[in-house]
Amino acid sequence: MTSRQVRGRNVGRPTLEEVAARAGVGRGTVSRVINGSPRVSEQTRQAVEAAVAELGYVPNTAARALAANRNDAIALVVPEPERRFFAEPYFSEIVHGVGVALAETEIQLLLTFAGGDRQRQRLAHYLAAQRVDGVLLVSVHADDPLPDMLASLDLPAVISGRRSADEPLASVDSDNFAGGRAAVRHLIERGRSTIATITGRLDVYGAQRRLDGYREALTEAGRPVEDGLTAIGDFTEEGGRRAMTELLARRPDLDAVFAGSDVTAAGARQVLREAGRRIPDDVALVGFDDSAVARHMDPPLTSVRQPVEEMGQAMTELLLAEISAVADRRPPASRRMDRQQLVLPTRLVTRQSS
Amino acid sequence: MTSRQVRGRNVGRPTLEEVAARAGVGRGTVSRVINGSPRVSEQTRQAVEAAVAELGYVPNTAARALAANRNDAIALVVPEPERRFFAEPYFSEIVHGVGVALAETEIQLLLTFAGGDRQRQRLAHYLAAQRVDGVLLVSVHADDPLPDMLASLDLPAVISGRRSADEPLASVDSDNFAGGRAAVRHLIERGRSTIATITGRLDVYGAQRRLDGYREALTEAGRPVEDGLTAIGDFTEEGGRRAMTELLARRPDLDAVFAGSDVTAAGARQVLREAGRRIPDDVALVGFDDSAVARHMDPPLTSVRQPVEEMGQAMTELLLAEISAVADRRPPASRRMDRQQLVLPTRLVTRQSS
DNA sequence: ATCACCGGTGGGAGCGCTCCCACCGTACCT
DNA sequence: AGGTACGGTGGGAGCGCTCCCACCGGTGAT
C-alpha cells in the first residue's frame, strides 16, 4: 500500500475558534449557532452569523466527522462496472429521485462504483472507514457479500430491488410480479397465441418475479407454460440479441415476446428485424422499464413502467429515517424491527409495438 | 440550516492505539506500517500487520483527514442536471477513464452533480470543507464561477475541455479544431457542395473550435462560409431537431450536415427523415464523439472520434500530479507554472451516413 | 429573604490520527 | 577508548470540531 502523502496544513481557512473570537463569544456558542441549536439568544446568534459571514467560515467536516461521527453524506453504491451503469436509464432516474429527496437537506450524495474486485475492496475500506452516514444499494445480485458487510458494520442501508422474498435490509422495489403479469395479460388480450419471454439473470429477484408474473398470466388464462418459450438474458442489449436468436431457433412460430427490460427488447427487436419479422404485425413486443429507449424505438415500445424516480426518492427517505434512528441511539434490535419493505406499483404503457 | 444530529460513538472499531498495544509497539510505529514507511524493520512490520489483520483494523479517515489534511478521495464534478449526464455517453467514458487511472491507487472517486443552484451551493460547501484532495471538472461553461472558486480554495483541479484559449487551470481536451476540419474535408471529398453545420452552444470553447474547423476546411478548399448554413444547437437531441428544422427552412438545397455531436446528429436525422431526405443519398451526415449512438444509428453515422476514455485517464493523471505537488509543499506560483494543457488527437471514423 | 429553576453561555476533554522530536542501541570510524 | 552516524522506535502535541458539565444571572415560588 504505497500511499501518497498529502500534507500541508489547512492554511488560511478560519476555524471555529477564530469565529468565536471575532464574535466575542465562546467556541460552544458558535458551534450551537452553526448546528441550529435553539438554545442561543437571538442577539448572540446574529453576532455569530455576522462573524461567520465576514470570515467566510465553513466548518471542517473532517473534524466534525471525527468528533461527532457524522458525515452529512450518503453513498449510492453501484456494484456494476461503470459502463453498465450508464447504459441503463434505470440508474439515471434513481439518481434523480435521490437528488429530489436530498434537496431539502444538507446531505451530499456520493456515487461510487464497485464493479471490479479492486474497486470493491477499495469501497469496503471506504465504508468501513466511516466516511458516509448510510448507503443506498442498487442492482445487487443475490450472492453479493456487500449487504452482509454493511450489516456487520451496522451502517444504515437501503437496497433497491429485494434480493429475495425475505430481505433483511430495508428495501424499495417495484411490483415486478404484477408488471410481468400485466404485460402478458395484455398480449393475450391482443390475441397472441405463442408468447415467449426473455428474462434477466434469475439470481436477480426482480427478474425472477417478472418471470413469475409471465407464468401466472399464462396459467390464469388456462394456457400451458412451455420451457421452450423462456430464454435467459441478462438485461443487456447483447443478451437480448442472444436470447432472441435462441428463441427464434427453438420456436419460429412465436408471435409475441415479453422482454425483461427495454434494453433487452431493443436487442430482441434487432434480431427480429434481421429475421424479417415485422413488429407488431408478425411479432408483438413488450418491454419493461418504460425508459427513453422504449419511446424512441421504432416502432415505439409497449412497456411496463416502474416508478423508478419515486423509488430513488423512497429509498432515500427510508435511509434518512434509519440514519436518524442510529443518531437517536435506538438499539440495533429495535431498528431492525421496523425496517420497511416498500413495493411501488407498476403500470403498463401501451404503444405501437403490441 | 436544520441539520440532523448523527451521534453515537465509534463503537467496536479498533483504533491505532489498540493495534499498537496488541503488536507490542508504539502508535507511531503502527502508523508507519499503515502508511508504508520504509523506516520500519521487517520483523516489526510483520508483527503489526498480524495485529491489524486479527483486529480487522481500518484507519478512520476522518481522523486521518483532520491530522494530515489528506482525503484519499477526488471528486468528479458535473455542473449539469443528472439527466444530461446520463443522456450523454461522453460522461460514461470519462468516468471509465478515471477509473482506469485510479485503479492502482487507494483513491476513491466521488461523483457529484451541481445542476441546480441548491446543489451548487451544497457542493461549494462540500469542497470548501476539504473533503477531497482534488477535483475533476467536466463540461464547464465559460461563465461558470466554479473554477474560480476552486482556484481561490487552492484546491487542485483539472478541467476537461478548456473554456478558452488561455485556460488558467490544467486541462485535457481533444483537438476539436482538427476534428471539425477533418469532418468537413471528408464531406468535400465526397463531392458535397452545400455543407451545413449544427454547433453546440458557442460559449463552450470546444463547440466554437469545431465550428472554426468547419470554416477552415471550407476556406482552404476555396469555398465561401455562408452564415445561413450555420445553426446554433446545444449538443442535445432536441437542439439538433430544432437546428435542423431551421437549416432546412433556410437552405432546402443543402446536401451535407456536420453535426457538433452524435446526439445532435440523431436529432437532425429525425427531422431529415421526416422531411423525406434520404441519408446519405440526399444529405450526408457526420457527427462528433463516435459514441454508441453513432454506431447504432440507421444508417450508421460517420463521426469524429474523441479519445474520451483516454481523456478521463489523462485528467486523472494530471490531477494526481498536482495533488502531489501540493503535498510536497511546492509554492502555488511554481505549481501554476507547470499546469499542463493537454490536447489529444481526434480521428474521423467513416460509416454509411456519408 | 431564601431557594430552586432555567435559559444562556464558556471552555475542558476527547474523537483517532499524523508529525516530529527525542531517544535508543549498534556499527563503524578515528 | 571515545566519538559520530544512523536505522529504528516511542510518545507528546495538535488537527478542528462536538459534547457536556459547570456556571452565570434573572425569575418566580416559598
Read off the amino acid at residue B82.
Answer: E
Give the mean model confidence (pLDDT) for residues A48-66.
Answer: 92
Is A65 a member of any domain?
no
For the beta sheet containing B157-160, the strands, ordered from the edge strand earlier in sequence to the opposite edge, are A341-344, A170-174, A157-160, A134-138, A73-78, A108-113, B108-113, B73-78, B134-138, B157-160, B170-174, B341-344
Cell of B294: 453513432
B193: in domain: yes
Q: How far is the CA of B26 from the C1' of D11 (A)?
A: 7
pLDDT value at position B1? 31
pLDDT at A262: 92
How many CB atoms are located within 10 Å of the residue B219 CB?
A: 12
% residues pLDDT > 70 (chain B): 96
* B218/B301 same-domain check: yes
Residues B46, B34, single domain; the answer is: yes
Q: What is the mean pLDDT of residues B236-252?
A: 96
Segment among A304-308, A347-351, B152-156 with least mean pLDDT? B152-156
- Based on the fold, state whether residues B180 and B300 are members of the same structural domain: yes
Mean pLDDT score, A178-193: 97
Q: Are residues A135 and A85 in the same domain?
A: yes
Among candidates B9, B108, B123 on the partner chain, residue whose Cβ is nearest the Cβ of A69: B9
pLDDT at A11: 57
Residue A238 belongs to a domain: yes
Dist CA A121 CA B143 (whole Å):
39
pLDDT at position B3, please? 31
Lowest mean pLDDT among A80-89, A266-275, B198-207, B310-319: A80-89
Taking residues A42-69, report their average pLDDT.
92
Q: Which amino acid belongs to residue B23? A: A
Do residue A29 and residue A144 come from a single domain?
Answer: no
CB-based contact B288:B179 (threshold 8 Å): yes
pLDDT number for residue A1: 31
> Any idea what the CATH number is for the domain that residue B91 is in?
3.40.50.2300
List residue ranges whose Cβ is under 7 angstroms from nucleic strand D: A 9-10, 13, 15-17, 27-28, 31, 34-35, 57, 59-60, 63-64, 66-68, 70; B 5, 7, 24-29, 31-32, 38-41, 43-44, 63, 66-67
pLDDT in tens, B23-67: 999 999 999 999 988 889 999 999 999 999 999 899 998 999 999
Instruction: Inspect the interface and report whether the beta carbons of A323 and B6 lie closer than 8 Å.
Output: yes
Is residue A3's pLDDT more than 90? no
- Examine residue B11 and state whether it is found in any structural domain, yes or no: no
Residue A87: its pLDDT value, please?
A: 67
Task: Look at residue B10 and tell me if it is in a domain.
Answer: no
A148-162 confidence digits (pLDDT tens): 888 888 889 999 988
Q: Is the pLDDT of residue B73 over 70?
A: yes
Reported confidence tier of residue B7, pLDDT bands at 50, 70, 90: very low
What pLDDT is attached to residue B314? Answer: 97
Query: Residue B79 and residue A165: Cα distance in Å, rounded?
Result: 40
Q: Count the residues in chain B.
A: 354
Q: Where are the beta strands (DSSP E) in A87-228?
A: 108-113, 134-138, 157-160, 170-174, 195-199
Closest CB to A113: pick one of B5, B99, B323.
Answer: B99
Task: Give B143's pLDDT tier (boundaries 50, 70, 90).
Answer: confident
Number of Cα atoms under 13 Å in the Cβ half of residue B161: 21
Q: What angle do CA B157, A86, A94 make, to 5 degrees?
A: 95
Confidence of residue A5 (pLDDT cuts 50, 70, 90): very low
Nucleotide with smallest C1' distance to residue B69 CA: D15
pLDDT of residue A70: 86
Alpha-carbon span B241 to B85, nearest angstrom: 20
Cα(A18)–Cα(A26) distance, rounded to whole angstroms?
10
Domain count, chain A: 3
The residue whose grid cell reads 463569544 is A25
State the average pLDDT over residues A237-259. Answer: 96
My answer on whether B285 and B200 are in the same domain is yes
Sort strands B302-305 and A302-305 into parallel, antiparallel or unpaired.
unpaired
Question: CB–CB of A60 and B122 under 8 A?
Answer: no
In the prediction, which pLDDT does B11 show? 56
Q: Strands A230-232 and A195-199, how do they pair?
A: parallel
Boundaries of domain holding A202: 176-305
Same domain, B129 and B234: no
CA gap B120, B122 in Å, rounded: 5
Please report the pLDDT score of residue B131 as a whole number. 83
B203 located within any domain = yes
Q: Is A335 exposed, middle or buried (0-12, 13-18, 19+ CB in 10 A)?
A: middle
> Is A89's pLDDT higher than 80?
no
Interchain contact, A91 vs B86, CB within 8 Å: yes
Residue A245 and residue A256 share a domain: yes
Q: Any residues with CB less than 8 A from the CB of B255 and at least 6 apart, and which?
A: B192, B193, B194, B195, B282, B283, B284
Q: Residue B349 — very low, low, confident or very high, per pLDDT cuts 50/70/90?
A: very high
* Per-residue confidence (pLDDT) for residue B317, from 0 to 100: 95
- B82, B97: one domain: yes
Residue B103 placed within a domain = yes
Q: Which of B212, B147, B209, B146 has its CA nearest to residue B174?
A: B209
Round the average pLDDT of chain B to a whole number and report it.
Answer: 89
Residue A9 predicted with pLDDT over 70: no
Mean pLDDT, rounded, for A250-267: 95
Q: For residue A71, which residues of chain B lie inside 8 Å, CB to CB?
A: 6, 62
pLDDT at A329: 75
Higher-pLDDT residue of A96 and A10 is A96
B163 and B225 share one domain? no
A270 has pLDDT over 60? yes
B285, B270 in Cβ contact below 8 A? no
A203 phi, psi to nearest 5 deg: -80, -5
Instruction: Mean pLDDT check: name the lowest of B58-62, B168-172, B323-327, B347-351.
Output: B323-327
What pLDDT does B99 receive? 87
- Do residue A79 and residue A159 come from a single domain? yes
Q: Are residues A137 and A211 in the same domain?
A: no
DSSP B34-73: HTT-S-S-HHHHHHHHHHHHHHT----HHHHHHHH---SE
pLDDT of B87 reads 67
**Which residues from chain A sit within 8 angstroms of residue B31, using beta carbons?**
none
Q: What is the mean pLDDT of residues A296-323?
A: 92
Beta strands in A89-133 (DSSP E): 108-113
Answer whether residue B1 is part of any domain.
no
How many residues can be counted in chain A?
354
Measured from the Cβ of residue A182, the count of other Cβ atoms closer than 10 Å reads 18
What pLDDT, on a 0 to 100 scale, did the predictor assign at position A76? 92
Q: Which of A55, A12, A93 is nearest to A306 (CA)?
A: A93
Whether the predicted pLDDT of A96 surpasses 70? yes
Q: Helix A42-55 to helix A16-23 angle, to the nearest 10 degrees?
A: 120
